[in-house]
Chains A and B, each alone.
Chain A
């Protein structure tokens, strides 16, 4: 007996047996999970319109095989870690902070220079606009979720309010974009107050589900109030924004002719790009100013400890409402831009996935880091777009295979993985809003998240 205990080969045998046992277990679980998905496909017969089952052993085998490989890698790394006794690598906060100071201006310069680059075409501009729209929405939602600690799962409702405000005002009253933009913001903010007032006394998780319900209600109403919103057909022919009254058309009054340029449809795209960039920068400026003002400080205090706030004479309902309304306002701005850019809107653009995406951008980026939101928007939108390019997968998995569906699947997976890897997002530290001698960033372990 005692001999066996000291024999290293036995020990090794135990380790290997453990790995095999756990791996087999993992594969067994994977087999159960993949059986109703990868293996057995229910298919509607073209002839009789009844269901039958198609077996896909190859896909099933590939799925289980991939899982086995992942498990073995995991086991192998666990083994290595156990041997090496890794020191926990905590990154210095100071460096993160300095990095932030330096990277912001660089990103801004890159964003401004991007449309003038020789490689820039319509597609790249389009992606750029998309990314900046998400950055703006992320900054708007960050006020609500990141600063005030109010979990809002229905933010897209305000985006929708902004979009429909512009579309409807333009259709019925012929208002132009520049007039509708502030109106859309004010209108969305009003909605924020109207929706927020009854529910903001709820606890965090309840607030989340109620905002989700509000988002869905607005979407269902948009979908079914056909006379007003066009229902699922949406609203089309929304006027495009002009360059302060000069349209982007080919005629003699157009932008190109006025400025003596050669007409190109890219000019409009470039204009839209700078428009959203300006709107995003406005959002950035206002929200970062507000953060350093008593109002923003109160938001953060609310996230830290609501009861203490009340004991210090803060009207917590008003504080929450102000966060909700200002967040909604930026959503409304972005929404009216979206309507102007697409020239067509329908309720489909404002579903829960959209809210989840914006929330994911905020949380993954880091709750109180504005730079983090930029990074996560680039990663998220860029990543999804990159997946769209994976048309070659069609060759592997057959013509039924649609990589653009896979992008949502991977999007969900990425949300899980990134959260497990960095539960507080890419940039997790917090910069104080006021300082006496020296601005030191606050480490993530001390920041609380608002229990609601």
Chain B
């Protein structure tokens, strides 16, 4: 077996006296959809924030194996470098689009670092040099290709905040994809979507996985989505891992059923 894309070892996060995540270990493979599930308050989002660098974990290691660039210790990297260098992208539970900017602008910002280099830190840009203009045109084309894919190319010039909720979710995912990630982390992507939209999302995520061979790590409440699309599921409860395996395995795990339904043995 190849080296896993993401290896989390003994991840622990404490807030004061509260242990939100306790010695959490798991692996995620490239080209797989890995889901972290668990009841409310299980520490899923905290674990997620540790992986994407928004929290610094109290203990443990998070290693990303980039196929071309080598290994990165994410637990000690600054959050913007995790995206820029290690190529881990993420979305947020409560959508964080740049609401006052247009759909296209949102995607252009995701390509900021390449464009910044192309504009020679604005010097070439100010004088309108052709190399920059070409780079900008390419960035627009790339953005438009993604918008075509999620079917909102006609809304490219609308403010992002004006999109309906389901499209905002998709736009946020596409914006993350514009950074060319090797690992895409989605925090409850199906939250607030209706069943039809959830199904569409599942199809879309599998396409992304297959077409680009990225690893997808997602937190989800919606079991139907998780069971349908995941290749691998990790279950958290009170900050600890209680189960880990294929959807079929997890579905029949007594510990999981107990955690979700609270059944006494």
Contacts and interface: CB of A to CB of B under 8 A. Distances in A.
Direct contact of A and B (CB under 8 A): yes
Interface of A: 286, 289-290, 293-295, 297-298, 300-301, 304-305, 307-316, 430, 432-440, 442-443, 446-448
A352 B83 CA distance: 41
Given A311-B52, A448-B99, A293 B157 contact: no
Interface in B137-190: 140, 144, 153, 156-159, 161-162, 175-176, 179
B159 A446 contact: yes
Nearest to B113: A313
A198 B144 CA distance: 39
Given A314-B112, A434-B136, A301 B126 contact: no
A311 B119 contact: no
A304 B112 contact: no
A301 B101 contact: yes
B180 to A, nearest CB: 10
Given A298-B109, A304-B99, A314-B80, A437 B157 contact: yes
Given A300-B98, A448-B100, A436 B161 contact: no
A102 to B, nearest CB: 22
Contacts of B162: 446
B112 A297 contact: yes
A265 to B, nearest CB: 37
Given A307-B96, A446-B159, A446-B161, A313 B84 contact: yes
Given A311-B96, A313-B179, A436-B140, A294 B83 contact: no
Looking at B100, B101, B162, which has the most chain A CB atoms within 10 Å of its CB? B100
B92 interface: yes
Q: Which of A289, A315, A440 has the most CB of B within 10 A?
A: A315
A290 B126 contact: yes
A304 B82 CA distance: 21
B260 interface: no
A439 B157 contact: yes
Given A295-B125, A310-B54, A314-B109, 4 more contacts: A286-B126, A295-B121, A297-B105, A312-B109
A298 B112 contact: yes
B96 A313 contact: no
A94 to B, nearest CB: 13
B102 interface: yes
B192 to A, nearest CB: 18
Interface residues of B, number: 46
* Interface-centre pick from A311, A315, A316, A435 (highest chain B CB count, 10 A): A311
Given A300-B98, A308-B97, A442-B101, A294 B161 contact: no
Contacts, number: 138
A301 B116 contact: no
Q: Looking at A294, A301, A309, which has the most chain B CB atoms within 10 Å of its CB?
A: A294
Contact of A436 (B82, B89, B98, B104): B104
B110 interface: yes
B112 A294 contact: yes
Given A316-B80, A432-B101, A297 B109 contact: yes
A311 B89 contact: yes
A415 B109 CA distance: 35
B90 interface: yes
B122 interface: yes
A446 B99 contact: yes
A440 B100 contact: no
B176 to A, nearest CB: 7
B101 A300 contact: yes
B62 to A, nearest CB: 16
Interface in B73-112: 79-84, 89-92, 96-102, 104-105, 108-110, 112
A53 B208 CA distance: 81
A434 B126 CA distance: 15
B79 to A, nearest CB: 5
A93 to B, nearest CB: 11
Contacts of A309: 80, 109
Given A311-B92, A311-B176, A438-B157, A304 B119 contact: no
Contact of B109 (A301, A316, A443): A301
A329 to B, nearest CB: 13
A249 to B, nearest CB: 37
B115 interface: yes
A313 B109 CA distance: 9
Contacts of B158: 440
A416 B254 CA distance: 64
A435 B102 CA distance: 8
B125 A432 contact: no
A364 to B, nearest CB: 19
Q: Can you list the 10 inter-chain pairs with the closest CB atoms, starting with the nearest?
A: A447-B100, A313-B84, A313-B83, A304-B98, A293-B125, A308-B96, A294-B115, A446-B161, A436-B156, A442-B159
A435 B157 contact: yes
Contacts of A437: 156-157
A294 B79 CA distance: 20
B109 A432 contact: no
B125 to A, nearest CB: 4
Contact of B119 (A293, A300, A312): A293
A289 B126 contact: yes
Contacts of B83: 310-313
Contacts of A293: 119, 122, 125-126
Contacts of A312: 83, 89, 109-110, 112, 175-176, 179
